[in-house]
Structure 1
C-alpha cells in the first residue's frame, strides 16, 4: 500500500510483477473464474494471483499518545516506497477441493520519508511545528476458508453462479516512525504492533460468458478480539488471457476497500490506527 517519475517506476514495478510472476486456483478473490459448480471432491485445483493495489488512505492514527491525521493519495504512497528493500508485495492463493476452499492473501508495503502521509492534529504540537515525516511498514496476511453453499443459474444473467461463505483471520503488523520538525529540534514517535482480526463474510462468483466473470466479496471482522471493527469489500471483473506454457491465465481489474479501527494503551502509551484504505486493483491469476 503503499513515485511518478518515481510514481511511474512504482507502477511499472507492479505491472511487471502482475504480468510476469503468476500461477491460479478457482474462484480466487483477486481474479479467477470457476463460477460454476465446484469440482468433485478429491480433485484439488489451485490458483495464484499477483496484483497491484493503488490505494487512498484516510483516517487518523496515534503513536505514543501523539495523534496524526492520515490523508494519503497513491502518489504519496507510491512516491515514497522504500526501494532499498522489496518495496511492496501483494499476492493471493487459493486451493479448492469440492465445495471447500482454503485461501491466503498477503499485502506488504514499506514507505520511507513521506511528508504527505500524515500531519499533526490540532493541539498536538506548538504552532511552530513543521511537516511530519513518516516511515511506515505494514504487513497484512489473510488466511481462511470458503464453503460453497449454492450454485446454479442466475436468472438475471442466465449464466452460472455460485455463493461461498468465508471465514478466517487477518493478521496485521505495523512499524511506524513519525518525526515532527519544530523550531530547533525534532519530536520523534515510533511504535510497532501486531494483532489478528477474525472475520466472516460471503463471496459471489458470477460467470458472464465468453470467459468473463465477476467476483464480489464482503466481510466484517475484528469484533473487539483484535481491532474494534474491520470490514472489507472487493469487486473484480475477470477475463481469460491466452494460454501461457499450457497454463490458463486470467487478467482482472477491480476495486478494493479495507477499513480497520484498532487501538491499544492510553495516554502516552496509546497506539491507534483508524484508517480506510481504498482504490483500484489490477492483476493476473494463474490456474493449475
Structure 2
C-alpha cells in the first residue's frame, strides 16, 4: 500500500453553467489565476496491491472564490436587493467547491522486472457546489442577496496503469482512464505520467503532468472543463 499527497499546478479551460438552466460562460484560467482565487485545495492518491489484484484511488477537493464588480449600470432590479438606480454598482462574489473521487480496482496482466501493466475498472464521483452573493449599491445603503446550488453525478471508468523501471532508483509511471459514456457525463478521461525517484524502500518523490477532462450536460447543468498542469508528490509506502 502507498499514499501520495501531491500538488497540482493546474490551469482551467472550458464552459460551465454555474446554475441550473443559467447562461453558459467560457472559462480560461492559468494556474496563477486559479491560485489567486484559491481558498483551499487538497490532492491525494492511494495505491494498493495484493498478489495480482490492485486498487487505485484519487481524491481531489478545491474551494475557490471569485469577486467581480460592474458599474455604473442602467437602472435594474435585483430580487432581494431592490431597484438599483442608474449609475449604481453591483458586486458579485462566487464561491465554488469541487470534490472528485476516483476509485478503481483491477488485475496485473503483465508483471516482469522490466515492465508491469494493470487493467482497471471503477467509477469517478463528482460534486459541484456554487454559492453567489450579489450586492447592489448607489453611494449609500446597499442590499444583498445570496443563492446556492449544487449537483453531482457518477461516471463508470475503464483504464490502465504501467510502470517502467529505468534504474534501481528511477522509474516512470503512467495511468490513464476513460468513461462517462452517457451514463453520467457524456465523456470523461484523465491521464497522468510521472518520473519517480526512490529515496528509501518507504519514501519516493514524483514529478510529472496530469490532465482531467469532463463533458457534462444534463438537466440544465453544464460542466465542460479541462484541468491540466504539472504535478509534484511524495509517496510513502507501508
- TM (norm. structure 1) is 0.67
Q: Counterparts of 2:57 and 2:46 in 1: how far apart (Å)?
A: 5
1:1-288 equivalences under 5 Å are: 46-62=1-17, 63-67=19-23, 68-82=25-39, 87-112=40-65, 114-115=66-67, 133-152=93-112, 160-178=114-132, 190-241=148-199, 243=200, 248-265=202-219, 270-288=220-238
Question: Hey, which of these two has a bigger chunk of strand by percent?
Answer: 2
* Counterpart residue number, 2:76: none
Q: Secondary structure at the match of 2:183?
A: coil
Q: 1:149 to 1:178 in 2, by over 3 A?
A: same
Q: Secondary structure at the match of 1:60?
A: strand
Give the Å deviation of 1:189: 6.0
Q: 1:162 to 1:212 in 2, by over 3 A?
A: same
Deviation digits for residues 124-175 of structure 1 (CA, Å, limit 9, x no counterpart): xxxx99786431101001111121111336xxxxxx1111111110111110
* Counterpart residue number, 2:71: none
Q: Indicate if the aligned counterparts of 2:54 and 2:118 stay in contact, CA closer than 8 A.
A: no
Q: Indicate if the aligned counterparts of 1:168 and 1:200 stay in contact, CA closer than 8 A.
A: yes
Name structure 1 gaps, 5 residues minimum.
Answer: 1-45, 117-127, 154-159
Q: Secondary structure at the match of 1:75?
A: helix
Q: Counterparts of 2:232 and 2:135 in 1: how far apart (Å)?
A: 37
* Counterpart residue number, 1:38: none
Q: Counterparts of 1:103 and 1:206 in 2: how far apart (Å)?
A: 18
Deviation digits for residues 209-242 of structure 1 (CA, Å, limit 9, x no counterpart): 131110111111001111111011110110012x
Q: Counterparts of 2:119 and 2:232 in 1: how far apart (Å)?
A: 24
- TM (norm. structure 2) is 0.81
Q: Counterparts of 2:4 and 2:45 in 1: how far apart (Å)?
A: 5
Q: Secondary structure at the match of 1:198?
A: strand
Q: Counterparts of 2:12 and 2:144 in 1: how far apart (Å)?
A: 25
Q: Counterparts of 2:197 and 2:146 in 1: how far apart (Å)?
A: 48
Q: Secondary structure at the match of 2:112?
A: strand
Question: Hey, which of these two has a bigger chunk of helix by percent?
Answer: 1
Give the number of the structure with larger relative contact order, counting CA–CA contacts within 8 Å between residues 6 or more apart. Answer: 1
